[in-house]
Structure 1
Amino acid sequence: MSAFHLLGVAGSSLGFHQTWLDALAHNIANVNTVRSTEEDAFQAQMLVARSRPGGGVEVAGIVTSDPDGRVVHQPDHPLADADGNVRLPEVDMPSQMSQLVMAQRGFQASVSVTKNAQDVYTSALQIGRQ
């Protein structure tokens, strides 16, 4: 596998992990988004990964969580219906935080591979100059 190919694979991984981090940040930021029971709940985003022909990874699609969310009794909330209920998203915070760690580690690994491939390419250029 050439250094250029490694850079392409690592670059696709960087892009995928950045998109994953963005989706997770969006989900975490909206974990407490309250809506009236007449509206859909905030829908968390989950990425679907797919391998690229020739190596690498890409986002195949984005799946969203259930728009029904969960109905919670909060009679003092300004958006509460006549029964005192509001709609919250169905976001599992521990799962989101675990995925956040995985996405961060994947991003860091991709950066490391990119750096190593650049070092190999630079070394090859140095050998060629001698």
Structure 2
Amino acid sequence: MGAFDALRIAGSSMGMHQTWLDSLANNIANVNTVVPTSQTAFQTQTPIVRALAGGGVEVAGLALSDPAGRLVSDPGNPMADADGYVRAPEDDLATQMTQLVMAQRGFQASVQVTKDAQDNYRSALEIGRR
């Protein structure tokens, strides 16, 4: 492992976690978005992550949830069909919030690795100056 590999790997992890956090923010903002049953539901996004050969990760794409979503009975909704149903996203708020906590913790861990690596490099430079 090279001298700055820890920073590169932690940086790639922070980038991946930032993409995950951005996706979750969009998913959470649309968790209650309903559409008529004749349309497709809001599709939640989940990053597809790939390990890199030299260490680290990258976002290879975004997986989308089922466009059929789930049917919700809401007869008072102006978008409801004749049977009183609207189409909602497949995932719920609890699922998205659970993933949000995991993504935040992963991002925080990557930041800590970056700080620790910087401290180690700084200490090594101080030893070299003596």
TM-score range relative to shorter protein: over 0.9
Work out whether residues 3 and 120 of structure 1, in 8 Å CA contact, stay in contact via their aligned partners in 2.
Answer: no
Deviation at 1:26, TM superposition (A): 1.2
Match of 1:103 in 2: 103
**Residues 55-70 of structure 1 correspond to what in structure 2 (within 5 A)?**
55-70=55-70
Take 2:108 and 2:72, find their aligned partners in 1: how far apart are those partners? 39
Cα deviation per residue 1:44-93 (whole Å; 9 max; x = unaligned)? 11111111110001112211011011112212112122332211111133
The alpha carbon displacement at 1:95 in A equals 2.3
Residue matched to 2:4: 4
Map 1:32-71 → 2, pairs under 5 A: 32-71=32-71
In 1: Cα distance, 2:81 partner to 2:88 partner = 13
Structure 1: unaligned runs, 5 residues or longer = none
C-alpha RMSD of matched pairs (Å)? 1.3
**Greater displacement, 20-29 / 9-18:** 20-29
Match for residue 119 of structure 1?
119
Q: Measure the CA separation in 1 of the matches of 2:3 and 2:13.
A: 15
Greater mean deviation of Cα atoms: 81-90 or 26-35:
81-90
Q: Is the contact between residue 3 and residue 118 of structure 1 (CA under 8 Å) also seen in structure 2?
A: no
Equivalence for 2:28:
28
Q: Structure 2: how far apart are the matches of 1:77 and 1:98? A: 29
Rounded Cα–Cα distance in structure 2 between residues aligned with 1:9 and 1:124: 20
2: distance between equivalents of 1:101 and 1:80? 34
Tell me how far apart the structure 2 counterparts of residues 93 and 3 of structure 1 sit (CA, whole Å): 42
The aligned counterpart of 1:129 is 129
Deviation (angstroms), 1:94: 2.5
In the alignment, the residues of structure 2 paired with residue 75 and residue 101 of structure 1 have an alpha-carbon distance, to the nearest angstrom, of 34
Q: 1:9 to 1:25 in 2, by over 3 A?
A: same
Give the paired residue count: 130
